[in-house]
Amino acid sequence: MTLLPSCLINKDLKNLHPMMKMVTANQERFQTKAFWKCAFESLGKAWPTEKATQETYQEELCTLLCKCLSTTTFKVRVEIVKSLNLFVQRLNVEGSVEVLGKIVGTLIPAICDCLGIVKYSSLRSEALGLAESLKTKLKESNNQSLISSDNHRLLVKALKLEKAEAAMRERANALRLELEEWPAKN
């Protein structure tokens, strides 16, 4: 499917002017990115608060979103991190501590990877918001010890945002200082 006016398209796409082929390819890439942004946004917004549904799909959704972070463009990554933030905010932490520990173990490396991408401040800002949501959720449920010592060190190190705007650095430092006081499981 192309978004070009019909007057620019020959019935036989093989005869399409080379410049038009390039435009068509760019439009298709744009549509694909827009589709994925919408899909990931929808996953976050549609994440239910119902305990039974969460217990069935929470680990699978978290793993899927975190895996997709490394294979997408920056704009799609921002949407994935926003979806993960909604996922964490709605996450029912009264279920299996083992599953919650796996989710935390999956989220922290993903957060740290996003915080480490200096080029995109909006991605770093969303990742910082996700880290703050995770901290709040773990603190409210008294599950701070679910962060492994390796992930604890990784997150504290990633929160040292030297090349960031002042407001983001302040948020990261406040979170880092609070996390440094948390116990980490071995």
Neighbouring CB atoms inside 10 A of 149's CB total 11
Q: Please name the residues in contact with 30: beta carbons below 8 A apart, sequence gap of 6 or more.
A: none
Q: If phi over 0 gives left and psi between -120 and 50 gives alpha, with beta otherwise, what is residue 41?
A: alpha
- For residue 9, is pLDDT > 50? no
Q: What is the pLDDT of residues 114-154, one digit of tens each?
A: 999 989 999 999 999 999 999 999 999 999 989 999 999 99
The tokens 């919650």 sit on which residue? 100
Topology of the domain comprising 12-180: Leucine-rich Repeat Variant (1.25.10)
Whether this prediction's pTM lies above 0.95 is answered by no
Q: What is the pLDDT of residues 148-182, one digit of tens each?
A: 999 999 999 999 887 778 888 889 989 988 888 88
Q: Where are the domains of the chain?
A: 12-180
How far is residue 182 from each of residues 37, 39, 127, 140, 176, measured CA to CA in Å? 35, 35, 20, 13, 10
Number of Cα atoms under 13 Å in the Cβ half of residue 41 = 10
